[in-house]
Structure 1
Amino acid sequence: MSTHQVHQDLNVVFNHILFVCIGNICRSPSAEVMMRNALQGRNIDVSSAGLGALVDHGVDATAQQLLIEHGLDGSQHRARQATPQVLSSADLILVMEKKHLRRISEIAPEALGKAFLLGKWQEEAEIPDPYRQQRPAFEHVYRLMAEGVDAWKRYI
């Protein structure tokens, strides 16, 4: 089977990509906006949720500023909780840290087989939480997420 055929087959599988972090206000909504932009023009639903979501909160101000500086916008985002239903409805779940995979296994064990680190293709890199830190921490996290989104895009 050619690489092109494999990619076509994967497109059928990944109709809904879900990004997961803790609060759903920094990492996962930023990665969601980045992936949605990367997959523009393709009929793939991209969303995010948090394992301890600050429900209905918008994107963190520093995270939003970085998105804007890269020509993106997360201003429409509202944080939501990663419930068993939200996790089960996704075709691919991308998390920031290994502990998020463990938490998903507790909440929705059936979803664990489709959950991976966003940094999977960067030697299983974890993406630290920049919440309540200074801008350099957000810039570092943004770079890691951009690398992860770019690497995953090849498989979606």
Structure 2
Amino acid sequence: MIGRVLVVCAGNICRSPMAEALLARRLESVTVESAGIAALIGHGADPVAVNLMSERGIDIRSHRARQLVSWMPATADLVLVMDRLQRQQLEHRFASIRGRVYRLGDMPASPRHSDAGFDIPDPYRQGRVAFEESLRLIEAGVEGWAMRIAGLSGGRVASIPNVSESSS
């Protein structure tokens, strides 16, 4: 049973807040939180991330970056990171979480996606196009993980419209 998911990125203002919000929206009975390996503590989500999530009907304006500390991964049933290096760093720093830490891109999303096994690049200070690409990958990872987590937890997965397809 998965009751608590921790999403980790570098600064906790771009990728992990978006992934946290999307997972929380899909997994109604699971607690989803985020933190950063080198968090910009107390900073809000990047304005581009706020805008992209707002376009999806999700408000992350209240998000504040948190530094990853030992109790967070220790109490999580699943830890999702953005790239291989972050996974290695966490497994080295917190040996007890081996077997519970994965890349968000490690879960095949669905048969229509071919992005299985991918890193999610950091869009920090790179503009909207970079954020859109990272968010596309985050959404693919969230789709797959939400189905897997719901299956393991006996929970329900809320369906959400794919904004990027409907706005084209």
> Match of 2:31?
45
Q: 117, 125, 128: which is aligned to 2:118?
A: 125
1:149 equivalent to 2:135? Answer: no
The separation in 1 between residues aligned to 2:31 and 2:79, in whole angstroms, is 12
- What SS class does the counterpart of residue 155 from structure 1 fall into? helix
How does the TM-score come out when normalised to structure 2? 0.82
> Match of 2:86?
100
Aligned-residue identity in percent: 41
- What SS class does the counterpart of residue 154 from structure 1 fall into? helix
AA of the residue aligned to 1:50: G
Q: How many residues align?
A: 142
4+ residue runs of structure 1 moved beyond 4 angstroms? none
The separation in 2 between residues aligned to 1:102 and 1:33, in whole angstroms, is 24
Q: Deviations over 1:130-154 (max 9, x none)?
A: 0000100000111110111011111
Deviation at 1:39, TM superposition (A): 1.4
1:46-125 equivalence runs, <5 A: 46-120=32-106, 121=108, 122-125=115-118
- What SS class does the counterpart of residue 32 from structure 2 fall into? strand
1:24 equivalent to 2:12? Answer: yes
Gaps of 5+ in 1: 1-12
How does the TM-score come out when normalised to structure 1? 0.88
Q: Deviations over 1:28-60 (max 9, x none)?
A: 0110001111113x2x10000000001111100
> CA RMSD for the aligned pairs?
0.9
Deviation at 1:75, TM superposition (A): 1.2
Question: 1:83 touches 1:107 (CA, 8 Å); kept in 2?
Answer: no
AA of the residue aligned to 1:38: R
Gaps of 5+ in 2: 109-114, 150-168
Deviation at 1:83, TM superposition (A): 1.2
Question: 1:101 touches 1:112 (CA, 8 Å); kept in 2?
Answer: no
- What SS class does the counterpart of residue 148 from structure 2 fall into? coil
- What SS class does the counterpart of residue 46 from structure 1 fall into? strand
> Match of 1:35?
23
The separation in 2 between residues aligned to 1:56 and 1:114, in whole angstroms, is 27
The separation in 1 between residues aligned to 2:88 and 2:118, in whole angstroms, is 16
